Chains A and B, each alone.
Chain A
Amino acid sequence: MQLKCNQVSLGYEGRTIIENLNFQVNAGDYLYIVGENGTGKSTLIKTLLGLRAPLKGTIEMGEGLKSSEIGYLPQQTMVQKDFPASVWEVVLSGNLNKCGLRPFYNKQEKERAEANMKKLGIEDFKKKCYRDLSGGQQQRVLLARALCATGKMLLLDEPVAGLDPKITNEMYELIQKLNEEGITIIMVSHDMQAATLYADHILHIGHKPLFFGTKEDYLKTETGRTFTELGKLEEQGEEYDR
């Protein structure tokens, strides 16, 4: 067990959004957290990352995982759109949690950044400016940074938002590959199609009762069927639109 939520309640300003949340993530799992907008997905992310305390309940970490060792792939912010930073600087900054008070990166950390860039196929962009890259390339850079921060668990927040279908698939394949190498994946998304393709566990929030279980069990529930069907319909609709 790497991560376990016991009877967790989440919310802010006295308002509870999620109640009695129980789930568990084991090493090597691929968990999809799905749910509509406004159901507390981002609050849950912040809580898992240790940026916010739950209102009730506890979050346990096991197998030597610390909340600062969850590699996080955030949604892009406005600041980053015109930020002058080279790919190398961004990837390297993922090592910061190993530095402590040491002011500079050591050789080992630099090698780690090199290795992760190679793994994600962005070593040619090393000297390029982050803001000049395409959306998919930027996501790879941020993924490489997250891998510098962790060797155990990745938490991805809508990693394919705004990417075109081909790049989206490449991104999914890449994440799948990382999962096969033994990194636990927690993916927050509303792409149900991808969830049914890649996930082994699904957590559906915002619908009562909350669902947590394997993908197979999820597809047997009514919400599961409705949502995957809806997803397919939307997909077809989009194709029709084109």
Chain B
Amino acid sequence: MIDKLVLYFEYPFVKYAMLVGVLIALCSSLLGVTLVLKRFSFIGDGLSHVAFGAMAVASLFDLSNDMIVVLPLTVLSAVVLLRGSQSAKIKGDASLAMISVGALAIGYLLLNAFSTSTNISGDVCTTLFGSTSILTLNKVDVWLCIIMSVVVIGMFLLFYHKIFAVTFDETFAKATGTKADSYNLLIAVITATIIVLAMKLVGSLLISALIIFPAVSSMRIFKSFLSVILSSAVIAVFCAVVGILISILAATPVGATIVAVNIVVFGIFSAIGALAGK
């Protein structure tokens, strides 16, 4: 088994997959804690559908790198959704559902109507569930992912205390002069960026799992914000590594395997939390 892994890791694309996988899992887990606590868990899900739609649009223009279309569109929707949840006639969850399902439908429609590919359902399945795309990353994708991850982690470190304050009590933060709206915007933009990156890894339907699972698992046991964040990061990286290794050895789809490992960890943490609570 070890021999097989050593053999695989001589291929650059396997190394890339591991590196990108770990970085994406790390970034999404950092943000996940805030999103879960702010009751924004579903924003990740909604945005990933938007990213799917955007990808379909990008494929129409036959771009060499679809990021140019997907990233700005997803960031824009994130901003609209966040503004919407504050002051719109259509309330938060409804507008979220509209945008996400709408984008999914339009995306699928465009792919079917205009795609030049002979295997549309295969393409759709890849975009939704990630399947093998992580093993087809090229150098540009890898570098893009590294740069974005560094930016996300840097932002998080720099604004850690502000993010805590805005998450714990937005009104108090605003009242004492913290520009909570700007930080909410920052959180939305970072979320959108991570989701676009993560689509390569687990596909758009499974991204929410990367965002939510490490956070809720950590909250079963840990009782301070810092420890929850650190534990989420560790869980996320652990699950990504184990998931990718299993998927290489057992030839299972990468995204689904990582999510499955996350579910197992959640089960274990819940059990420990329940025992410790008694």
- What residues of chain A have their CB less than 8 Å away from a CB belonging to chain B? 49-51, 66-72, 74, 77, 79-80, 82-86, 88-90, 92-94, 96-97, 99, 103-105, 127-129, 131-132, 145-146, 149
Residues on B with C-beta less than 8 A from A82 are 219
20 more A-B residue pairs beyond the given contacts A89-B225, A93-B165, A97-B178, with a C-beta to C-beta distance below 8 A: A49-B175, A51-B171, A68-B176, A70-B176, A72-B172, A72-B176, A74-B172, A77-B171, A79-B39, A80-B169, A84-B219, A84-B228, A85-B168, A85-B225, A86-B225, A86-B226, A92-B161, A96-B178, A128-B223, A131-B223
Candidate in B158, B167, B175 with the most chain A CB atoms within 10 angstroms: B175
Docked Cα-Cα span, A66 to B225, in Å, equals: 30
Would you give the shortest CB distance from B36 to chain A, in whole angstroms?
A: 10
Residues on B with C-beta less than 8 A from A90 are 168
- What residues of chain B have their CB less than 8 Å away from a CB belonging to chain A? 37-39, 157-162, 164-165, 167-169, 171-178, 218-219, 222-228
Supposing A74-B169, A79-B39 touch, asked if A84 and B224 sit within 8 A by C-beta, the answer is yes
Docked Cα-Cα span, A93 to B175, in Å, equals: 13
Supposing A79-B38, A83-B168 touch, asked if A129 and B223 sit within 8 A by C-beta, the answer is yes
Residues on B with C-beta less than 8 A from A149 are 172, 176
Would you give the shortest CB distance from A72 to chain B, in whole angstroms?
A: 4
Which residue of chain A lies nearest to B223 when distances are taken between CB atoms in the complex?
A129
Asked if B168 and A93 sit within 8 Å, CB to CB, the answer is: yes
Candidate in B38, B159, B177 with the most chain A CB atoms within 10 angstroms: B177
14 contacts between A and B (CB under 8 A): A51-B174, A83-B167, A84-B222, A84-B228, A85-B224, A86-B224, A88-B224, A93-B161, A93-B173, A96-B162, A103-B157, A103-B159, A127-B224, A128-B223
Residues on B with C-beta less than 8 A from A66 are 177
Which residue of chain B lies nearest to A70 when distances are taken between CB atoms in the complex?
B175
Residues on B with C-beta less than 8 A from A79 are 37-39, 167-169
